[in-house]
Amino acid sequence: MDEKTLPFADYTSPDWSDVLIDALHVAIADKLEKNPRLIGIVVHNLSIWRRRHPEQQRLVRQWKVIVYTWEFADILRFLREASADARQMRRMSPFCGILTAEEIAGTCVAVSESRRVA
């Protein structure tokens, strides 16, 4: 395997990206739980999105409501939630920058390996 690519066991499956996004957000929630100050990255991302992506204002507003008004435990629960609404929101997530490249790669490999076994 090329060291610059990650193995995806079932990347042709229609739900593989959702499975990966779910796993990444669980990892993000776990990391935020250990270091709540990282939520500042999300606040920063939202301020940038507002200026750079005016076409996404509705989604930015939805994320702002979540990040600025919800209890921290509820945010973590939402990041881990398997509902269709949570999954839809996580497809464009302001939580980028929380995980390191190594953490993202490790999650990708773990998801790929779990899908091979399943």
Tens digit of pLDDT for each residue in 47-89?
988 777 777 788 889 999 999 999 999 999 999 998 989 988 9
Give the mean model confidence (pLDDT) for residues 27-39. Answer: 98
Total number of domains constituting the chain: 1
How confident is the model at residue 1, as a pLDDT?
A: 43
Q: Which domain holds residue 73?
A: 16-117
Q: Grade residue 45 by pLDDT with cuts at 50, 70 and 90.
A: very high
**Is 51 a domain residue?**
yes
Percentage above 90 pLDDT, the chain: 53
Sign of CA dihedral 100, 102, 103, 107: positive
With contact defined as beta carbons under 8 Å apart, do 8 and 51 qualify? Answer: no
User: What phi and psi, each to the nearest 5 degrees, are found at residue 83?
Assistant: -70, 160
106 in any annotated domain: yes
With 0-12 / 13-18 / 19 or more C-beta atoms within 10 angstroms meaning exposed / middle / buried, residue 31 is middle
Higher-scoring residue by pLDDT: 99, 12: 99
Residue 95 burial (C-beta neighbours within 10 Å; 0-12, 13-18, 19+): buried
